[in-house]
Chains A and B, each alone.
Chain A
Amino acid sequence: MGLEVTDVSVHFGGLAALSDVSLEAPDGSITGLIGPNGAGKTTLFNVIMGMQRPVGGTVRLGGRDLRGLSPHRRARLGLGRTFQRLELFGTLTVRENLAVAASMGQRRFSRADTVHPQALAESLLDHLGLASVAEVRADALPTGTGRLVELGRAMAVKPTVLLLDEPASGQDSEETTRFASVLRGLADDGLAVLLVEHDMELVMGVCRQVVVLDYGRVLFTGDPAAVQQDPDVQQAYLGSLSGAPDG
C-alpha cells in the first residue's frame, strides 16, 4: 500500500506551490522525487508530514487518510522523514540522538519481542558506520555525517514510509556508496522510501520509479531510464535557451 498522494495543492498567497500533485510510493521500493530548486519537493514533504495544510487533496498511509492528523500522530502511524536543512538534536551526542528516537519507537511498538532501545541505537551506530563518532555532540558533526545520523534517527522509530530530503548532499562519494546500500536495505525490508535528491547518479541507481516536479506540477512519472529521455524533463532541467542547470 505504502504512501499515496492524490491531487494535493498548496498556495502561498497567490503562488501555487503545488498544483494537483499525485504520486505513489509503494512498499518495498525507492521512489525518486526530483525537480529544480523551488519545484515544491520540500513543500510536498511538509504536506505529507502534516506540517503544511494543503488547500486540497489527500494523503494516505497504508490506505488510511491522514487528513487532520498532527505530525506526531502521523509519525506514530509509521511516517518518518529527514530534513533538507539538518534538524539534529545538537546538544545531544550521536548515541543519544539515536537512543531518544529508539525509545520513542519502542513506546509505539511496545511488544515483548522488540529490541531494547539502547541495543537498537548500538546496532544502528554500527550499521551506519557511526560508531567512531558515537560520543560526539551532533552539532559538531560535518554535514554528511549529520545526514547519516538523521537517517539513523528516522530508522530508529521503525517507520513504514520514509521521506528523505536530499540525504546525500554534503556526503563524499564513499559515504554516498554506503548510503545507497543502506537505502536498498531499507527497501528490501519492505519500507516505502520517497527520496528527494539532486545526485542523479544515486537516484538513477536506486530508484524503481522517478517523479519529476516542476513549478508545483508533476511533469513526468516513470522509470529512471525513461526520465532521462523525456524532452520536457530535459527542458525543465537545462532550460530551453541558455538557462544553467539548477541543481
Chain B
Amino acid sequence: MHEFLIFTISGLATAGIYAITASGLTLTYTTTGIFNWSHGAIGMIAAFAYWQMRVGWGWPTVASILICLLVLAPLLGIAMEAGVMRRLEGTSEASKLVVTLALALSFLGIAQWVWNPTTYRAIPPLFSGHTLVLGPVRISYNDLTVLIVALVVAIGLRLLLYRTRLGVTMRATVDDRTLTALNGSSSVANARAAWVIGCMLAALAGILVAPTLTLSATALTLLIVSAYAASVIGRLRSIPMTFVGAIILGLAVSYSVAYLPQNPYVQGFGGSVPAVVLFIALLALPQSRLRGHRLLRSRELALRPSWRGTAIFGVCVIAGTVMLAMVVSSSDLFSLNRVWGLAIIGLSLIPLVGFAGRLSLCQMTFAGIGAAVVGHVGAHGNPLSLLAAAGVCAVVGLVVALPALRLSGIYFALSTAAFAVAMDAWVFPLPPFDLFGHQFAPFGSGSLVFAPFRVGGAVLSGKEAQFIAGSVAFVLLCLIVVAVRRSGFGQRLMALKDSPAACATLGMNARASTLAVFALSAALAGIGGGLYGESLGSAAPDVFQFFTGLSILLVMVVVGISSLGAGVAAGLFLGGPTLANFFPSLSQLSSVLVGAAGTGVGTTPNGTIPSGLRPVWSSVVKRRWLLGAFVVIVVGVWALRLSGVIDNWTMTWIDLAAVFGMPGIAYTVDYRAGTAQPAFGLPDRRVVVVDEASARGQAGPPVDTPAGDSANPVVVPAGSPGRGT
C-alpha cells in the first residue's frame, strides 16, 4: 500500500507535466487547426536554455525560469506564428503535419548542434533536498511544485477561455473562423496569442520535466507522444478531458515502472507505454464519417510517368553509379554504399504518400524489421532474404494498418508514429528469446551482423559491386512503383486521395485499397532496410529510429513525393558523404537544413523536382545539341578524373555547374528568341501589360510597369494570348 501511494504520487507528478504539455497542444490545435509536432521540441529547447542559464552560466533559478517562460517562449511563439504557421492557412493537413515535423527536426538539430549530445547534463530538481512528509509518504518539493503548477495552469486556462474577451474569441475561432473575423476579431491576433500561450506551456513542461530526465534532446522531443496521447483522450478539444487523459497516462507510466516484472523482455515495454496508450486512444476515437468535401483546387501536380522516361532515368542512375564507383575512394564508397538502401526506403513512401495521400511515420521501423529478417534469414548471404523481408514487412504492415484504417489522415499518421516509437523503445532492443524453438533476437546482442550477398557463386563483398548492385535494385523497384502508378490500381489510389466519398459511390472498397498500398509500401521499405543493413555490414537498432524516418519523409516531400528522383535525393542527402565531410563541426547541419527546407513546404507543395527541376530541364531536353553537350561534359570530366587530371571535388563541382548551368543556357537562348516562358512562374519582366482601352487611346500609363526595368518593354494589349512573336 505504501509503495502504491508513492508510485501514485510520482505518477500524478508525471501526469501534471503531461497535462501542461497536452493542454498547450490542444489549445493551439483548436485555435489554429495545426497539429503541432514541434510542441515537444519547443519544450526541449526551453529545457536546454534553462540548463544553460541555470547550470551553464550559474544564474539564479527564478531568473532563469522567468527568462525562459516570459521572454524566450513568447518570442518563439510570435516568430513561429509570423514566420511559419500563418502561411499554412488553407493548405492540406499533410502539409501542415510535414511543416511542423520539419520544425521539430530543425529544433532537434539546433539543440544537438549547440549542446553536444555526448556531454552529460543534469538539472537539479527545484527546492532540492526538501520533502513534505504526509503520513507514511514523502513528497519532494519538486513533485509538489509540478502538481501545484499543473493545477494553476488548469484553472488559468479555464479562466482565460471562459472569462476573458481573448479567450471567448479564441473559442469562437474554433467554431467558425470566418464568422469570428466578420465580428471584428482578428484571427491573426488570436492565432498569435494561441502560439504564445502554447509555447509558454511547452516551455513550462520542458523545464519541469528536465530534472527527472537526464537532459536528452530526443527524449524531450518525444514528450510529444505522451502529449498526443493525453490530447487524443481529450478528443483534441476538451481541456478538462485532456487533464483526465494526462492523469491516466501518468499513472500508467508510473505503475508500469512499479509493477511490471523485473525481466528484460518487459522492461522496454515501460518506455513504450505512452505510445501504446496513444494507439489505444486513437482506436477508441469515433469513426470519421465519410462525407463529401468541397473540391479544393489542388495545387498538386500528378504526372503519369512514361515507360520511356523511366527507362532513361534508370539507365542514367545505373550509369552514374558505375561511373562514380570507378572514381571515388574506398572510404567514400563505404559511406556512399548506404545511399541505395535509404533511397529505396524513400521510394517506399511514393505509392503511399504520393499516390494514396496517406502519411506513414513508421517506414524506418519497417526498414528495421526488413533488416532484421535479412540479417537472420540471409545469414549465409542469400539475396532471396530480401524477398522474405518484403513478405514479413507486408504482413506486419497489414497488422499495423488494419485497426488504424478507420482513422482519417492525420490520426492515421499518429497511429503509425505510435507504432514506430513502441518498436524503438521495446521490440528492437529485445534480448534473445525463443520463438518456435529457435533462439531469436531482433538485433542480436546489441547489433546485427550482415553477411555479404552471394549471387551465383560470387560473393558481393566488394564495395563497388555492392554499390552498383544497390543501384540496380533501386531501379528495379522504381519500375514496380511506375507500374503501380500506371495501373488501374494506381489510378484508383489517386482517385481515393481526391475523393474517398466518390470512390465509395463507385463501389470501391477504400479500406482494401489502402491496406494493399500500405502493405506494398511496407514491403518496399523492408527491402530498403535489408539493403541498408547490408551496406552497413552491422547495424544496431538505433540506426532505424523514428527520427531518421522523419528525415527521409521530409526530404521526399521537399524534393517531390511523387518523383522517383526524390528517392535518390533522400539517399544522397542522408547517406552520401555530404556536408559533414566538408564541415565536420556542422554534423547537425543536414538535419537543420532539411528542417528549414521542410518548413517551406506549405508554399511549394509539389516539391523541387516537379516544380523546379523538371520545368527548367524540359527546355534543355528539347535541344538535342544542349543535351549532347551536357553528356559530353559529364563523360569528359569523368574521363579527366579517371586519368587523374582532376580530383573528385572538382568533378563534382563541374557536374553540378553543368546541371544548373544547362537550363540557364537554354533559358537564355529562349529569351533571345523571345519564346521564353516566364521563369519560376514570375511575370515576364519584359512584358508590360497595357489596358486595351488606354492603348487604343494612347493616353493611359502602362498599368504594370516594373520599376527599374532596363530591358526594352514589349507592349502587349491585355488579353493577348501570348507574346505574339
Interface residues of A (CB under 8 A from B): 46, 49, 51-52, 70-72, 75-76, 79-81, 83-92, 96-97, 99-101, 103-105, 107-108, 139-140, 146, 150, 153-154, 156-157
Contacts and interface: CB of A to CB of B under 8 A. Distances in A.
B25 to A, nearest CB: 28
A92 B504 contact: no
Interface of A is mostly: helix
Given A87-B292, A91-B302, A101 B506 contact: yes
Contact of A80 (B292, B505, B508): B505
B507 A87 contact: no
Interface residues of B, number: 31
A239 to B, nearest CB: 26
Contacts of A97: 495
Given A80-B505, A88-B498, A96-B491, 6 more contacts: A46-B291, A75-B508, A76-B507, A87-B295, A105-B507, A154-B506
A89 B505 contact: no
A90 B297 contact: yes
Contacts of B501: 51, 71, 83, 87
Interface string B699-712: 00000000000000
Nearest to B499: A87
B291 A72 contact: no
A52 B292 CA distance: 12
B290 A92 contact: no
Which one of B292, B293, B302, B506 has the greatest number of beta carbons of chain A within 10 Å?
A: B506
Given A87-B499, A89-B494, A139 B507 contact: no
Nearest to A103: B488
Given A51-B289, A99-B491, A103-B488, A91 B298 contact: yes
B506 A75 contact: yes
Which one of B295, B503, B504, B505 has the greatest number of beta carbons of chain A within 10 Å?
A: B505
28 contacts: A46-B291, A49-B504, A51-B501, A72-B506, A72-B510, A75-B504, A83-B502, A85-B293, A87-B295, A87-B501, A89-B494, A89-B498, A89-B499, A89-B502, A90-B297, A90-B498, A91-B494, A91-B497, A92-B491, A92-B494, A92-B498, A104-B507, A104-B508, A139-B297, A153-B506, A154-B505, A154-B506, A157-B507
Nearest to B492: A100
B509 A72 contact: yes
Given A85-B293, A91-B497, A157 B491 contact: no
A87 B491 contact: no
Contacts of A103: 488, 491-492
Interface in B480-518: 488, 491-492, 494-495, 497-499, 501-510
Contacts of A89: 494-495, 498-499, 502
Contacts of B295: 85-88, 90, 139, 146
A125 B100 CA distance: 43
A85 B294 contact: yes
Contacts of B293: 85, 87
Nearest to A104: B506
Contacts of B510: 72
A134 to B, nearest CB: 14
Contacts of B497: 91
Interface string B264-298: 00000000000000000000000001111111111
Which one of B302, B507, B509 has the greatest number of beta carbons of chain A within 10 Å?
A: B507
Given A51-B289, A86-B295, A90-B298, A70 B498 contact: no
Contacts of B300: 91
A154 B509 CA distance: 16
Nearest to B301: A91
A76 B504 CA distance: 9
Nearest to B297: A139
A100 to B, nearest CB: 5
Contact of B507 (A72, A85, A92): A72
A142 to B, nearest CB: 12
Interface in B171-202: none
Contacts of B504: 49, 51, 70-72, 75
A112 B73 CA distance: 68
Given A103-B488, A139-B297, A153 B498 contact: no
A92 B505 contact: no
B502 A88 contact: yes
Contacts of B502: 83, 87-89, 150, 153
A88 B494 contact: no
B507 A75 contact: yes
Nearest to A141: B295
Contacts of B492: 100, 103-104
Nearest to B291: A51
B495 A49 contact: no
Nearest to B562: A91
Contacts of A49: 504-505
A85 B494 contact: no
Given A88-B502, A89-B498, A99-B491, A83 B507 contact: no
Nearest to B290: A51
B58 to A, nearest CB: 58
A87 B503 CA distance: 9
B275 to A, nearest CB: 30
Contacts of A91: 298, 300-302, 494, 497-498
B499 A71 contact: no
A157 B509 CA distance: 14
A70 B297 CA distance: 28
Nearest to B496: A89
A66 to B, nearest CB: 14
Contacts of B297: 90, 139-140
Contacts of B495: 89, 92, 97, 100
A85 B499 contact: no
Contacts of A90: 295-298, 498-499
Contacts of A83: 292, 501-502
A97 B503 CA distance: 11
A237 B652 CA distance: 74
A71 B491 contact: no
B507 to A, nearest CB: 4
Contacts of B289: 51-52
A46 B333 CA distance: 60
Given A87-B499, A99-B491, A139-B298, A108 B507 contact: yes
A88 to B, nearest CB: 6
A156 B507 CA distance: 11
Contacts of A96: 491
B491 to A, nearest CB: 5
Contacts of A81: 505
A8 B510 CA distance: 27
A72 B497 CA distance: 16
Q: Which 4 A-B pairs have the closest CB atoms?
A: A75-B507, A71-B504, A91-B302, A87-B502
Nearest to B501: A87
A92 B294 CA distance: 16
Contact of B491 (A79, A85, A100, A146): A100
B486 to A, nearest CB: 11
A111 to B, nearest CB: 16
A166 to B, nearest CB: 12
